[in-house]
């Protein structure tokens, strides 16, 4: 804070003496210091039990066929770009492609510093409004996709899964991987019967490795499920997951007739959707952290 006070004093002196260049330099320095303070403040908010962990991020296209499937793929690209800008890494765990374009669903594993803490507020329905590139009449379409985020658990957290409570299915992977993927049932799907939670993995050639990844994902989902039951908002979250459509969205991305991204929980807006879809979502993530901290 001493540095900020010194710059403010210099700014006042330069203002009295009308030293324009010094005033500009002081303004830049003050802005830099305030940004540093904000970064420290935000990092203090990432202090909950699992915030430091890596995260799984699921994206599911809503009703609307190709439109929503293309939107789901756009969201995947947005989070992938954000991860790269944060110096993290992402891995596609599973993917179900659309018939014409996009993806019906996909799961990413995102690794890096405090990834779960940063992304946990992204769970919910995301809405896109644009002139459809798939509509020969160039009409405006509204598309929906849901995003669900849960932590990659470390070895210190034990989750007991009873064999009688799960069903394991194997199937042929449909993704990239050459002849092996297309001719062996290497992909794995596990259903947890009591909660109806379903996880699947197809990125490894080995069925054993896919099964191991599935169990890790299932443990993470079950842990998050139990945590949600203890949170006041768990009932509303459960309701929002029943319908990927109107009335449940957390953020709107409007490309036509005007350009605006708006978070419907805190009214934060950005008039440059292109930058947001290229991964510049820190303002929205930080606003969610401030909002959550303010409610406590």
Q: pLDDT per residue over 21-60, tens digit each?
A: 888 888 888 888 777 777 777 777 887 888 999 999 999 9
Q: Per-residue pLDDT tens for 87-121?
A: 999 999 989 998 888 999 999 999 999 999 999 99
Predicted pLDDT of residue 177:
42
Predicted pLDDT of residue 246:
57
State pTM to two decimals: 0.74
Q: How confident is the model at residue 1 (pLDDT cuts 50, 70, 90)?
A: low
pLDDT higher than threshold 90 for residue 273: yes
Close Cβ partners of 145 (under 8 Å, ≥ 6 residues apart)? 59, 60, 61, 62, 68, 71, 72, 75, 125, 126, 128, 244
């Amino acid at each position: 804070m001493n540095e900020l006070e010194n710059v403010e004093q210099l700014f006042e002196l330069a203002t009295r003496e009308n030293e324009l260049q010094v005033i500009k330099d002081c303004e830049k320095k003050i802005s830099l210091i305030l940004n540093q303070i904000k970064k420290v403040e935000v990092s203090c908010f990432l202090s909950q039990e699992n915030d430091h962990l890596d995260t799984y991020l699921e994206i599911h296209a809503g009703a609307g066929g190709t439109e929503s499937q293309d939107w789901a793929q756009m969201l995947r690209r947005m989070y992938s770009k954000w991860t790269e800008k944060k110096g993290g890494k992402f891995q596609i765990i599973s993917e179900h492609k659309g018939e014409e374009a996009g993806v019906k669903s996909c799961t990413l594993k995102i690794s890096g510093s405090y990834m779960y803490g940063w992304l946990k507020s992204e769970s919910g329905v995301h809405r896109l409004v644009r002139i459809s590139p798939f509509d020969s009449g160039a009409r405006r379409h509204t598309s929906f996709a849901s995003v669900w985020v849960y932590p990659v658990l470390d070895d210190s957290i034990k989750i007991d899964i009873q064999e009688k409570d799960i069903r394991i299915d194997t199937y042929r992977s449909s993704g990239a991987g050459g002849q092996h993927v297309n001719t062996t049932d290497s992909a794995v799907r596990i259903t947890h019967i009591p909660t109806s939670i379903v996880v699947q993995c197809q990125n490894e050639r080995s069925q054993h490795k896919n099964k191991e990844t599935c169990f890790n994902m299932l443990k993470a989902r079950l842990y998050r499920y139990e945590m949600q039951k203890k949170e006041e908002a768990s009932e509303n979250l459960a309701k929002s997951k029943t319908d990927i459509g109107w009335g449940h969205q957390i953020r709107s991305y409007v490309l036509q007739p005007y350009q605006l991204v708006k978070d419907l929980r805190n009214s934060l807006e950005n008039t440059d959707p292109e930058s947001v879809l290229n991964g510049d979502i820190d303002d929205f993530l930080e606003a969610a952290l401030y909002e959550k901290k303010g409610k406590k």
